[in-house]
Chain A
């Protein structure tokens, strides 16, 4: 199969280099029209924060993956990338790489399920831009099916692999109904935002944000449908919160041991989850010694993240098996593509003979007899073509007999001169 492609990803390049070749949706559209006229008949362009990939069927055999890279460099006007920053693929390797990407096993975070929807969007864009045809559409189908099966049939996308998400996993082991719990986020930076978004996605009862700059707190609160509390006052309300997440840039502790001690006595022992994701820390780590206080910092939550990543790595062979199955299926289909025109030509050729011969006797027999003859010749042609068509399809669907298929197809073409037969079965 004449499929080629290039990939600039987290293994081959730095974040700056990946950013330099990142293509926005508009750029992807422009780049596709460039590729269509110069290098590829059909294909797709995928560009995420971690990878940019260009794959497709070249317009001729002289087109090499390096030309795709040169075209991209030229289009983006980039000078900080070399050929060493690119992985190039052709034929089955290219197909396998697309499968690896769609299944998430090639992602920076193994099993990242987001990549499948990003692939789907790229495939959709290819279709919208008339940059796809039978082969690429089939490749899209196979890649999406592999991605879906990997998620459904393996544990490749299971378990928390970020600190914020790992915190949710711990919270869910403490509390039964998150919709009845209240959370306080101290700080309104990027880390706090991620934690707040994760909590919000788990339908936490109420999220309150406190920050030295009130305006920033307000903005984040709006994002997660929460409320705010003045930074100077939050300590007076600490006992109301079941979950406290802190991520400020303060140099000293902002919540002390005695603060939490008094909180827990006001709560009559009802547990409290504290997550300190600030460096240096915001909450005195000694609070972990207080009964019913579940304290976590980045180090402790990283244990969960590492465990889950290990688990995901163990699932890779299962995903590989799915990829192998689907690629076999793809080749079964692809190999039949070559014989379809031959079968069509053969059938047209026989049908044209049938038509000619019937025409010759049309005026020599009665209408009734003609109908009978017409039926008989149709059956005759059908029976003659049945075995060669069946055998050829069987050979094509069996990957091992590829050479045999080519020999038989060529022999058929040669014997019946099928290369010179037009679509209606007549000699050209």
Chain B
């Protein structure tokens, strides 16, 4: 089994590169021959990625969330899978290359540095922690997808506004659709992050009696949650549209990335299990 895991670790970045290549080719050429094939490629890649994650969990007897590079591969999968679902539900296929690029980057870093850890802290084998981490990662994947759609919204907005009718104008869906995709991704990300935070509030004091609520990670996640929450409220209650709402999601995404960096690399937190 270990050989299969190691092989998949090498194959996955190659598969993501191929899938990205096909998505990019279709974006540039709009070739009908690969229009349907690209989805099959993504499906196969995700299927093998899922197999890889399951095999790791079985082989090492813990979910793949015990270090940054295991988390990166789960994040790569969450991004790809969320996009795949979005594409299936909406049949909008023009934005895939921009999201799969993130999957490829995360998987590439993971494949390079990932280690086979058998001995881990007992807390990392906890199921609730697994749900807590996976829902948080799902939330971040949602915010990343929202940010990509937000950026694409701005690009298309500028193209139309300044009467530049290039590739972005031709291939992307309408501004309204991009805005919707951004909003729904934010909404899904927000719900998943809320679940993660709730599990954290219930489970963490039990697992860590000395928990501090001024922990850098808790504060940064709360800020992220608040920014996205305000963004959602302005849309739902104040009926804001377009650029202003999207700006919230982009600011939220930047804060989310910064908070991850700060809390995981620079700051001391009880969240550092490894």
Contacts and interface: CB of A to CB of B under 8 A. Distances in A.
Most buried by B among A173, A176, A294: A173
Interface string A259-299: 00000000011110000000000000000100110101000
Nearest to A304: B165
B244 A269 contact: yes
A269 to B, nearest CB: 5
A268 B243 contact: no
Contact of B156 (A173, A177, A292, A300): A173
Given A173-B175, A175-B174, A176-B180, A296 B243 contact: no
A62 B180 CA distance: 71
Given A269-B240, A291-B243, A307 B175 contact: no
Contacts, number: 48
B174 A288 contact: no
Nearest to B162: A288
A176 B174 contact: yes
B160 A292 contact: no
A304 B163 CA distance: 9
Interface in B233-250: 238-244
A67 interface: no
B241 A268 contact: yes
Interface residues of A, number: 20
Contacts of B165: 303-304, 307
B163 to A, nearest CB: 4
B56 to A, nearest CB: 41
A381 interface: no
B176 A174 contact: yes
A170 interface: yes
A359 B174 CA distance: 83
B25 interface: no
A268 B174 CA distance: 19
B174 A172 contact: yes
Contacts of B172: 173
B180 A271 contact: no
B98 to A, nearest CB: 17
A270 B241 contact: yes
A172 B165 CA distance: 13
Nearest to B160: A294
B177 interface: yes
A174 B241 contact: no
A244 B175 CA distance: 18
Nearest to B169: A173
A172 B169 CA distance: 11
B242 A176 contact: no
12 contacts: A173-B172, A174-B174, A176-B176, A176-B177, A268-B240, A268-B241, A269-B244, A271-B175, A271-B242, A288-B161, A292-B243, A300-B163
CB-based closest 7 A-B pairs: A176-B176, A300-B163, A176-B177, A176-B174, A270-B241, A269-B241, A174-B175
Interface of A: 170, 172-177, 268-271, 288, 291-292, 294, 296, 300, 303-304, 307
Interface of B: 156, 160-161, 163, 165, 169, 172-177, 180, 238-244
